[in-house]
Structure 1
Amino acid sequence: MDLTLNEVIEASNGEILFKNCEGIFNKVSTDTRKIEKGSLFIALKGENFNGNDYVVEAIKKGASIVIVDEVKFDSKDLNNNGVVIKVGDTKVALGAIAKYYREKLGIKVVGITGSTGKTSTKDLVAAFLSGKYSVFKTKGNFNNEIGLPLMILELDSSYEVAVLEMGTNNFNEIHRLANIAMPDIATITNIGVSHIENLKTRENILKEKLSITDFFKENNPLVINNENDMLQKIKEDNRFKLEKIGYNEECEVYAKNIDLTEKTTSFDVVTKSGESYRFTLNMVGKHNVLNALLGIQISRELGVTFEEMNDGLKNLQATSMRLEFIKKGDFTIINDCYNASPDSMKAALDVLKTYSGKRKIAVLGDMGELGDHSKSSHKIVGEYALEKADIILSTGKFKEDYKEGFGKDTLIFNSKNELIESLTRRIKKDDVILIKASRSAKFEEIVKYIENL
């Protein structure tokens, strides 16, 4: 890493308590289990842990610098090793160090937020840009106030563009993330009801997502999905240059001649000037057309040609458990356990409907953080599944709501194990089985079980 001890102290507004070495480090860690020699360890606190308890362990494992906000160790136990820096709040310090490092690198940053589709869009943006640039992208779901800074601190001068995902489940989180990442270009995928439990209304969700532009300089591009009803309400603003994608000619780029197969999604992209190019994605589902258009417009802003974007698609690496197709003997599993919201549930059910097979089975679990909208949202998804699935199997808090929407062909269970046992008995030749729920439900356990039958 291209950061010095003095820069860490300056960025974190910290003070040195003990200095037993030069404080040279090559990576940042918040987990003592993953510490390597020459690490900088930041002692974070959570509901069930306090990193300040593990300072001595971190230094024994080779950390050259430790940042704390509580002193819970005896200096003798350091054995004259490591540098210890005291700050007011280690989480704030982590963000401040990442912000300092991002500004020092001077790298182009693309910020991605939205209710759903962030991860797929991130994967597509990174692929398109890779046709011209060396690109870094957020790993997994490292998109919060701990994950985002850690991603930035994995950057180095070999990268030209960073594609960073930004998530939220409460007010002002996107503002704080944008302050750290300072995006040059941003996109909002859509505004749905994900995280409405804390944010209360879709209007508040829109306001929260728009905070991604709070640290824009004059005329930075904001690329939006104009097919979303809430995003259509965004007006031109002196904070950003508004650019729209969608299915009609008023957009900067739009799609037509869409062709969906079991393995690919093809479409023509057309610009306002009439330029056209055909893309084929190794991803399924019409929703990915809009995700791709966001990536295409961002790439155009960064000077990437359609031909270079197409070359970049060879590097597409989709995040696991996102519409992942698993052929198992004579049936197919659609593993979409990464997360769930009403919009992503509907998109997955659309894919289930179009995938060839004799019987379509939907194994659906709870969608989290919907608050007062929880019961109605699960019922609506159940209704949407009519004519897309032949049968629904469900367990969780809202299983009865799926049944109310879908009707008599809904089987509900008191536990995941009961569901697995019933599903295992029911699988027949040429079945297609969609498995989807929020991450907290851990429905990947169902995937692993039937995958190993």
Structure 2
Amino acid sequence: MTTTETIYKLYTKHPVISTDTRNITPGCIFFALKGDLFNANEFAHQAIEKGAAYAVIDEEKYAENAQCLLVDDVLTTLQDLASHHRKQLNIPVIGLTGSNGKTTSKELVNAVLAERYKTFATFGNLNNHIGVPLSILAITADVQIAVIEMGANHQKEIELLCTIAQPTHGIITNVGMAHLDGFGGFEGVKKGKAELYAYLKATNGYTFINRDNAYLLEMSANAGLNKLIYYGTENGNTIKGTLKSSDPFIEVTWTNHEAESTVKTNLTGSYNFENILAAICIGDFFDMNPDEINAGLANYQPKNNRSQLTKTEKNTVICDFYNANPSSMTAALNNISVLSAGKKTAILGDMFELGPESPAQHQLIVNQAQESGLDQLIFIGKYFYAFKEMVNALFFETPAEAAAYLQQNPIEDHLVLLKGSRGMKLENLLQYI
């Protein structure tokens, strides 16, 4: 069997990793991962033919030549290789997780830090047991600070990701009603996210905490953390912030005990205020001045269908359809209800991974939407469809049915909230709004 140390020596000469034969670059190392519906060992030879220097495999029958590196388990090897690489990097690594706002916070933190430092941040949402090792292995020697997003849908997952990313600093954006099925309810969510705090306690790392969030205060106290940097809206925090405006874009006034500063961002949604404060706090911790911090925030352009305000030919759309859970759905409805607009519509898609809580959570969102004072409500998906007799709204079982309706009954001159879980693929409706 090929050892991790041997593969690492090859990696230093071939520092590009691929797990997809469609994205092979000359000289890369291909890791033949397995899934429920595929076995990439079968494509190792193809990867080498396309230019991969080596293929890491875990089935001996595919070891055709010396370029095929046989290991016990490809995924474990990938994770071990990333952990080994991380140990060679003497840089701050900020581990970031939470129920909502992970990716936006990661992007904001990176945008701020990049004003002074050579940074690396998780690409897209490569934040799971495969994405985190790939992210770590993409960190080059010239990087000064890395921001690693860590996602989870069950307990012990953040614990595993911490052993790979080995964060020196960490932040939990919040805890909410997300992945309830995998975590086993809200208390399970708190326990799972707190695995980051446990790691930082064990390694004497630094933790950034939103002091306005009672759950995070409770979790940090239970973990016994001692290197704490607080941000929030009250005096006594390292960073104190005030939401000056959020209609439609967020403007924040903040102070670091020395000087007051104001920044206007390109983000919509008052729920992003705490994500902005987190980025300010982290920038301040790393000795950045207010001008640098504000420049990073002001120049950041959301482009990932998270809190992204888009003008179509007919309407203004809040594109927030990358994902959804009850906590983020509630925040999005609260936000659109207070924004200035002549007419408002919410198009909401099903929320996934809620387990036994799903019916009750969907009903709560239906009730909240009905009370939000919007001009039109459209619900899409089988979970929402179960409540079609309850309220005066439009219900469709599939996005295709909703698209057909919108083609025949176009919405015009509205502020539209488009939000649902990733699997609903609500982006396909944007062309009809």
- Structure 2 length-normalised TM: 0.92
1:131–1:310 contact (8 Å) kept in structure 2: no
SS in 1 for 2:251: strand
1:47 aligns with 2:32: no
Unpaired stretches in structure 1, ≥5 consecutive residues? 13-20
Alignment-derived partner of residue 415 in structure 2: 432
* 2:225 matches 1:255: no
- 1:450 is matched with 432
Instruction: Please give the secondary structure, in 2, of the residue aligned with 1:143.
Output: coil
Q: Does 1:149 align with 2:149?
A: no
SS in 1 for 2:61: coil
**2:99 is the alignment partner of 1:102:** no
Unpaired runs of 5+ in structure 2?
Answer: none
**CA distance, structure 1, for counterparts of residue 399 and residue 269 of structure 2:** 28
Change (3 A) 1:402 1:114: farther
The residue type equivalent to 1:349 in the other structure is L
Q: Deviations over 1:29-50 (max 9, x none)?
A: 0111111110100111110001
Matches within 5 A, 1:118-157: 118-157=102-141
SS in 2 for 1:283: strand
State the partner residue of 1:398.
383
CA distance in 2, matches of 1:428, 1:315: 32
1:350 is aligned to 334
Q: CA deviation at 1:119?
A: 0.8
More helix by share: 2
Aligned to 1:330: 314
The answer to whether the Cα contact below 8 Å between 2:57 and 2:63 also exists between their aligned partners in 1 is no
Deviation string 1:270-318 (CA, Å, 9 cap, x unpaired) is 34x4642222211111111101111111222222222221122354243
Q: How does 1:262-301 map to 2 (within 5 A)?
A: 262=248, 264-271=249-256, 273=257, 275-301=259-285
Is the aligned partner of 1:31 residue 2:13?
no
Structure 2: distance between partners of 1:402 and 1:247: 39
Aligned-partner SS, 1:72: helix
Q: Among 59, 72, 88, which residue is 1:70 paired with?
A: 59
Partner residue, 1:18: none
Paired AA for residue 73 in structure 1: Y
Structure 1 residue 401: Cα displacement: 5.4
1:245 counterpart letter in structure 2 = Y
| Structure 1 contact 23–65 (Cα < 8 Å) conserved | no
Q: How many residues align?
A: 429
Change (3 A) 1:242 1:202: farther
Q: Which amino acid in the other structure matches residue 97 of structure 2?
A: T
For the residues of structure 2 that align with 1:45 and 1:218, how far apart are their CA atoms?
A: 33
- Aligned 1:193-342 pairs, distance under 5 A: 193-216=177-200, 219-236=204-221, 237-256=223-242, 258-262=244-248, 264-271=249-256, 273=257, 275-342=259-326
Q: Secondary structure at the match of 2:245?
A: strand
Task: Verify the 8 A CA contact 2:382 2:397 in the aligned structure 1.
Answer: no
Residues of 2 paired with 1:60 and 1:162: CA distance? 34
Q: Secondary structure at the match of 2:416?
A: strand
User: How far off is 1:337 after superposition?
Assistant: 1.3
Q: What is the alpha-carbon distance in structure 2 between the residues aligned to residue 205 and residue 6 of structure 1?
A: 36
Measured in 2, the distance between the counterparts of 1:285 and 1:22 equals 43
Identity of aligned residues (%): 33
Structure-1 separation of matches of 2:289 and 2:415 = 38
- Deviation readout 1:164-186 (Å, 9 max, x if unpaired): 11000011000010111011110
Shift of 1:243: 2.9
Worse-matched range after superposition: 394-403 or 161-170: 394-403
TM-score when normalising by structure 1:
0.88
Matched, 1:418 2:404: no
Q: Output the CA distance in 1 between the equivalents of 2:414 and 2:270.
A: 22
